Amino acid sequence: MPSLSFVSLSRSDKSFQVGLILVVLFAVVEFFAASVHYIGRTPPAQPAVAAPRVVPAPLSSVAPSAPPVALAVASPTAALTPATSTISVADRLRKQADAARESGDTVSALARLNDAAQRDPKNPEVLAEMAMIYESIQNFDRSADTWRRVQEIGPSAGPLYELADMKLKTGVPAAPGPTTGSALDAGKPASALDASSVRTTAEGIPGGSTLGISEVTASETPDPDSETNLMLRIAVKKRPNAVIDHTKVKIQVFFYDTVGDNEIKLTDADVSYEWLTPNHDWANSDSETLAVTYIRPKLKAKSAESDLAAAAAAINPAKKGKPVKTSPPSDAGSRKYLGYIVRVYYNDQLQDKRAEPTKLLTIFPAPNTAPPQ
């Protein structure tokens, strides 16, 4: 009996040991499984550490800060906006001044140009138009000062810089001539470029026109046989890429003289025309140049009436009586060159016009449709 209980006790001890071993093994397996699971979860933790390199997250958070960037860009834009509006206002004032000048209101024209010059003091077109208006009203000191301001702008002023340089070198007339306000009275080569030449588009052509007068230059040549010998060079420019039918182009040039103190008449001087460019059809060049010459001989004193009287006396020499005096006409000795008007028509529609002095545009307005020739 005692032996049997001993055997039963030893068997239960073995069972306990086996169970304990199984529990320990199970715990080891669980620990190993937990370790593997923990180690398996560690790599995602490292990408989480490396996640800062995934810039999209910070960028998306920076996106709301884009307004400061936009503000930084908007700041210069805001600074540029007043300048742009200032330029547009100055350009509008210049166009208003041109309209006033063409209507003969130089006071209003100068007022608007002065306002434009205050808003945009480096605008060469505004300054050049002011200078030429001052010259046309014989305020030569102000004209020279304004040309000097154009010259100070430098080559960036384009052709107006060269014009200002030439005006200052040849000299704006210091005092008006006795009967004319033209720069030609000084007897020097002078540019008679009309003020309206700077009112046009960048191509030098009025808006809505196919052709424009890009330059008018007058030069006087000393001539012992002539009271006045001058040449007018007129550059007529087409709009870029425009096709011109030269048979439909009409260029009209009128010269005017002063008679006595105030009367203005079409000239009776000798006038001739010559193209300086060979083909003058605007096919191979955007600009063609016409030269018009005005010559008043010193000996041009007899009128047709006096010539007829002399011829009648020669035919009947036996007729006695008072001798016939071959006196010159009443205005022959008092005629002086005043200026010119140039008009360009295409398809019988007015394209552009120039005058020196500019008051001639008001006294003799140009018809919008070419008169029949």
Segment 244-252 mean pLDDT: 95
Residue 225, pLDDT > 80, answer: yes
Residue 121, pLDDT > 70, answer: yes
Residues 6+ apart with CB under 8 A from 286: 237, 238, 240
Q: CB of 328 within 8 A of CB of 302?
A: yes
Angle, vertex CA 227, rays to CA 221 and CA 229, nearest 5 = 30
Residues 6+ apart with CB under 8 A from 133: 101, 106, 109, 110, 113, 195, 358
Q: Packing angle between helix 159-170 and helix 124-136, nearest 10 degrees?
A: 30
Residue 155, pLDDT > 80, answer: yes
Segment 146-162 mean pLDDT: 87
Give the confidence band of 332 by pLDDT, cuts at 50, 70, 90.
Answer: low
Residue 74, pLDDT > 60, answer: no
Pairwise CA distance, residues 366 & 263, whole Å:
20
Domains present along the chain, CATH in parentheses: 85-176 (1.25.40.10), 182-310+327-373 (no CATH)
pLDDT of residue 130: 86
Pairwise CA distance, residues 309 & 302, whole Å:
11
Higher pLDDT, 325 or 292: 292
pLDDT of residue 160: 86
Higher pLDDT, 225 or 170: 225
pLDDT of residue 203: 59
Pairwise CA distance, residues 160 & 198, whole Å:
9
The structure's pTM equals 0.44
pLDDT of residue 22: 82
Give the confidence band of 362 by pLDDT, cuts at 50, 70, 90.
Answer: confident
For the chain, what is the HEC assignment? CHHHHHHHHHHHHHHHHHHHHHHHHHHHHHHHHHHHHHHHHHHHHHHHHHHHHCCHHHHHHHHHHHHHHHHHHHHHHHHHHHHHHHHHHHHHHHHHHHHHHHCCCHHHHHHHHHHHHHHCCCCHHHHHHHHHHHHHCCCHHHHHHHHHHHHHHCHHHCHHHHHHHHHHHHCCCCCCCCCCCCHHHHCCCECCCCHHHHCCCCCCCCCCCCEEEEEEEEEECCCCCEEEEEEEEEEEEECCCCCCCHHHEEEEEEEEEEECCCEEEECCCEEEEEECCCCCCCCCCCEEEEEEEEEEECCCCCCHHHHHHHHHHHHCCCCCCCCCCCCCCCCCCCCEEEEEEEEEEECCEEEEEEEECCHHHHHCCCCCECCCC
Q: Which residues of 288-321 are buried (b: 16+ CB within 10 A; e: fewer)?
A: bbbebebbbeeebeebeebeebeeeeeeeeeeee
Angle, vertex CA 220, rays to CA 216 and CA 224, nearest 5 = 160
**Judging by DSSP bridges, how do beta strands 211-220 and 349-356 pair with one another?**
unpaired
Pairwise CA distance, residues 124 & 167, whole Å:
14
346, 136, 87, 350 alpha-carbon torsion, rounded to 10°:
-10
Give bridge partners of residue 258 from the DSSP assignment: 264, 336
Higher pLDDT, 300 or 90: 90
pLDDT tens readout for residues 172-191: 544 333 333 343 443 333 33
Segment 184-202 mean pLDDT: 39
Higher pLDDT, 73 or 84: 84
Segment 237-247 mean pLDDT: 93
Pairwise CA distance, residues 341 & 252, whole Å:
8
Give the confidence band of 122 by pLDDT, cuts at 50, 70, 90.
Answer: confident
Residue 205, pLDDT > 80, answer: yes
Single-letter code of the amino acid located at 54: V
pLDDT tens readout for residues 21-33: 888 888 877 777 7
Higher pLDDT, 367 or 305: 367
pLDDT of residue 189: 36
Give the confidence band of 55 by pLDDT, cuts at 50, 70, 90.
Answer: very low
Give bridge partners of residue 263 from the DSSP assignment: 259
| Tokens (6 digits) for 108 | 């209003």
- Percent of the chain at pLDDT > 70 equals 62
Give the confidence band of 93 by pLDDT, cuts at 50, 70, 90.
Answer: confident
Give the confidence band of 323 by pLDDT, cuts at 50, 70, 90.
Answer: very low
Higher pLDDT, 369 or 203: 369
Lowest average pLDDT, out of 63-67, 255-259, 305-309, goes to 63-67
